[in-house]
Amino acid sequence: MRFLWCLIAIIETASIAFLGWQIVTDPMALILVVVGTLLLVGGHHCQSPREGSRIFGMIFIAIGITMNSAFWAFFVITLLAIMLLLTTMGGGLHKWVPWRRKQYVHFKTTAPSGTPPPMRKSPWFGGTTIGETTFPWDDINFVSLYGDTIVDLGNTLLPEDQDNFIMIRKGFGRTRILVPVGVAIELDHSVVFGTVQFLDETYHLQNERLQLHHQDADGKQRTIKIVTSTLVGDLEVRYV
């Protein structure tokens, strides 16, 4: 995670330097910034300060800066850094930051009935609870932009005569998958920055793909195949 913050700091510094170069080389932007600065400084040092001069000065400076693409690159990167900071910080922030709210997915299953399952919409943010509803087992496939997700299969009886899949695609946030004891696990995980805790093993990944498999010695088990893709976030897979 430290490498990610260093990378963000380098990109932010380069964006500021590029913004300065764009202002100096663009006559219109340079004139607006210079005139705005003169109005701002002149209005401040004048014996009878003119509020109008200050306002126009700030407007000219703002226009001169925001008309350059480097400013918007800096703005977007800063916004992403703030969201990442709020996502990774602990304490009481998760109580009011939408994507820090937990999304708890608890499945109860029945035998397949042959009827197509109803459509289920994936939330953009965490905070949605899926549970208390009994439905035939179907592969899990959903997308989330932000948020911490918990998938609990503790009370699920997986079919033996088919491949069982969990596919999760996320932008930012932590994912926890709880698997019943006695179920074989096949994991295929891709992430830009994040940590994977698979049973008792921990892996630190940077733009890597990790494939793991766990099965008891007898080999006679139900199998769950987990495929996950995340930009920034941790993944935990463990037995319950």
Q: Are 216 and 141 members of one domain?
A: yes
Tell me the pTM.
0.54
- Whether residue 133 is contained in a domain is answered as yes
- Compute the radius of gyration of the chain from its Cα atoms: 26
Judging by beta carbons within 10 Å of its beta carbon (0-12, 13-18, 19+), is residue 228 exposed, middle or buried?
A: buried
Quote the pLDDT of residue 154: 73
| 124, 145 contact by CB (below 8 A) | yes
Q: Which of 22, 30, 28 is nearest to 72 (CA)?
A: 22
Whole-number pLDDT of residue 80: 81
Using the 8-state DSSP alphabet, how is residue 158 labeled?
A: -
Q: How much is the pLDDT for 183?
A: 84
Q: Does 141 lie in the same domain as 83?
A: no
Together in a domain, 228 and 147: yes
| pLDDT given at position 219 | 59
Last residue of a domain, one of 33, 63, 88: 88
**Residues 76, 144: one domain?**
no
- Residue 112 in domain: no
In a domain, 118, yes or no: no
141 in the same domain as 192: yes
The segments of the chain whose pLDDT lies below 70 read 1, 43-51, 86-138, 155, 161, 216-221
Q: Both 150 and 235 in a single domain?
A: yes
- Which structural domain range is residue 49 located in? 1-88
> Which residue, 88, 117, 140, sits at the end of a domain?
88
Domain count, the chain: 2
